Amino acid sequence: MTYTVASRPVPEGETWTQAALTELADVPAVHRAGLALAEGGGRRLLFTASDRDLERDAQWCEIDANEDVPLVHAVRTGEAVLGSLENLAARYEAFINRQLPRTKALAFVPVVAAGHVLGAYVLFFETPQRFDQPQVTELAALGARLGLQLRHIQRATMHVSRSLAAEPVPAGARAADLAVAADLREVGIARHFALITLAAWGVDDVMAGDAILCLSELVTNALLHTEAGCDLRLVLDQGVLTTSVRDGGSTVVVDPGSVAGDPLAVHGRGLQVVDASSTRWGSELDAGGMTVWFVLEPENPHAA
């Protein structure tokens, strides 16, 4: 796995980060804890750990969201990965071989809020664990509690720049941006823009159709919730298509902790369509608005 030093994913949330790592490290028999948050439309994870120098700020590094490691699996699927090193080695041999002899068991648990996965945490246990139902339930509840706290931080945080067009594009990737005016008739323009762009990029009809269906729902949601329009970004990176929709400030005030689903569920079937048609999806919420993204991958990634 290649690590790259990265900026902080929650610039004003260092207190939350350090408190979360402290709470995770205090779980019985844990000698190390880690925390990963999805960034860049789900194309990467930013990771930090309790054994790094936290005297000032948490030190984050970047992990490719396509890495075949249990932490990525937990974020992409929303499923916890639990077990002894021996049990996990059958699926993640290279990763397990890098672990310290002190580690006897591992837990990779999603950090969830508002109906989807924001990231995951990892616990390195120095003693064998049973991972029975009470323990699994407790670990999941911890992930939900951390997710709710993070959502409140995101909601109260105003980032310096949240323009999708200003976000960096991976080397060798293609990107296209569209500013969508605050008019529902603009949904058709967004669909046409995507159709022309994806055709020019050589994206196959099935993936393009799924992308246009999903982005139509998300653009419609954004326009219904704001009077300031939204931004649309398409990124094609090694055959993987990431689509992001950033609204200009929701006019619907929703407390993420008070609803079972995502605020976008206000508009009927939108998220159901995205969830059913995409490989994975997520959102980033702050005081300036919400960015919702989804990823589509080819059926055979190695063929892309």
Q: Which stretches in the chain have pLDDT values below 50?
A: 1-7, 158-160, 251-268, 302-304
**Domain containing 125 — which CATH number?**
3.30.450.40
Q: Residue 226's pLDDT is what?
A: 74
Q: Are residues 264 and 191 in the same domain?
A: yes
- Identify whether residues 241 and 289 lie together within a single domain: yes
**Can you give the pLDDT at residue 156?**
64
Same domain membership, residue 130 and residue 15:
yes
| pLDDT for 283 | 77
User: Same domain for 118 and 195?
Assistant: no
Residues 150 and 171 in one domain: no
Q: Which pLDDT value is given to residue 254?
A: 38
| Residue after which a domain boundary falls, among 138, 156, 174 | 156
Beta strands 230-237 and 60-64 are: unpaired
Tell me the HSE value of 141 on the side-chain side, using a 13 A CA sphere: 6
**Helices (H), ranges, the chain:** 14-25, 70-77, 85-89, 93-97, 133-156, 186-200, 205-225, 270-277
Structural domain containing residue 78? 4-156
pTM: 0.67
Do 216 and 256 sit in the same domain of this protein?
A: yes
Task: State what percent of residues in the chain have pLDDT above 70.
Answer: 79
Q: Indicate the residue among 110, 138, 156 that finishes a domain.
A: 156
* Count of structural domains, the chain: 2
55 and 110 inside one domain: yes
174 and 149 in one domain?
no
Sign of the CA dihedral 149, 163, 224, 296?
negative
Per-residue pLDDT at 276? 87
pLDDT for 10 equals 58
The average confidence (pLDDT) of the chain is 82
- CATH number for the domain that contains residue 270: 3.30.565.10
Residue at which a domain ends, from 115, 133, 156: 156
Both 255 and 214 in one domain: the answer is yes
